């Protein structure tokens, strides 16, 4: 009888040990599967989110908006009425250099417009609205507070003949063609480029230049994008 009990106990003990072994094997297998799945998920996430994707830094200081330290004003982003820096010296020196270098090559570039205050822009805009209606005026003139000229970083150029000043046909003049090819080398971009009215909100203005500094201007020009697109604002 004792012998039978001993045999039975041995059988039960072996069965328990085998069960524990099976459970441990299953647990290890499950952990390996979870680790493998987690590894695959990590690889997948890295693939769908490129490591070189740049996140732009937007900041508003005293009512003035900067993206990657670039001052931004457009149809949606305004400047405070009190903001009146005048012409930014660095930008004015750059536009003077552009004009001098262009004219040294036989062109006849002249500066037509630089800094404009909020009050001056208000007067201009209201005059355009009275003449052409608000809808039309909004395609070529900025509402008060939304003009790049208020930043002191924007300039309108023309030529001494003046027949194509502030007209799309300026792009076909020797001056317009030279500006299109060389403005970025002096730190400027054509702010409202051709075929981008749906992005900028303004008609093509081959005469309107915005100062960004040489490095950024060259990058924006090479990208073929508007400033809004380049900074992921549109």
171, 175, 205, 228: the catalytic one is 205
Residue 50 Rama label (left phi>0; alpha psi -120 to 50; beta): beta
pLDDT greater than 80 at residue 16: no
Distance CA 207, CA 175 (A): 9
DSSP, residue by residue, 24-81: HHHHHHHHHHHHHHHHHHHHHHHHHS-TTPPPP-EEEETTEEEETTEEE-SSS----T
- Pairing assessment for the beta strands 64-67 and 70-72 based on DSSP bridges: antiparallel
Average pLDDT over residues 164-174: 98
Note if 81 is an active site residue.
no
Average pLDDT, the chain: 85
Question: Which pLDDT band, with edges at 50, 70 and 90, does 53 fall under?
Answer: low
pLDDT greater than 80 at residue 32: no
DSSP, residue by residue, 103-169: HHTT--EEEEE----HHHHHHHHHHHHHHH-HHHHTTTSPPTT--GGGGT-EEEEEETT-TTTTSGG
* Share above pLDDT 70 across residues of the chain, in percent, rounded to a whole number: 77
Question: Which pLDDT band, with edges at 50, 70 and 90, does 72 fall under?
Answer: very high
Distances (CA, A) of 107 to 84, 86, 93, 110, 155: 32, 28, 19, 10, 18
Distance CA 125, CA 136 (A): 11
pLDDT greater than 80 at residue 27: no
pLDDT greater than 50 at residue 38: no
């Amino acid at each position: 009888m004792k012998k039978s009990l001993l045999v039975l106990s041995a059988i039960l003990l072996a069965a328990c040990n085998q069960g524990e072994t099976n459970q441990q094997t299953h647990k290890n297998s499950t952990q390996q599967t979870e680790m493998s799945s987690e590894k695959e998920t990590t690889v997948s996430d890295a693939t769908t989110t490129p490591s070189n994707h740049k996140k732009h830094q937007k900041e508003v200081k005293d009512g003035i908006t900067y993206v990657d330290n670039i001052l931004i004003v457009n149809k949606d982003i305004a400047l405070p009425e009190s903001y009146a820096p005048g012409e930014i010296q660095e930008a004015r020196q750059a536009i003077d250099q552009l004009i001098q270098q262009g004219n040294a090559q036989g062109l006849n570039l002249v500066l037509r417009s630089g800094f404009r205050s909020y009050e001056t822009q208000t007067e201009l805009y209201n005059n355009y609205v009275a003449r052409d209606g608000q809808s039309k005026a909004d395609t070529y003139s900025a509402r008060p507070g939304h003009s790049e000229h208020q930043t002191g970083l924007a300039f309108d150029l023309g030529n001494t003949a003046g027949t194509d000043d502030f007209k799309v046909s300026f792009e076909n003049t020797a001056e317009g063609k030279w500006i299109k090819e060389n403005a970025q080398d002096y730190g400027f971009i054509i702010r409202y480029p051709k075929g981008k009215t749906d992005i900028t909100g303004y008609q093509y203005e081959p005469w309107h230049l915005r100062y960004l500094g040489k490095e950024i201007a060259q990058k924006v020009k090479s990208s073929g994008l508007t400033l809004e697109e380049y900074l992921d604002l549109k």
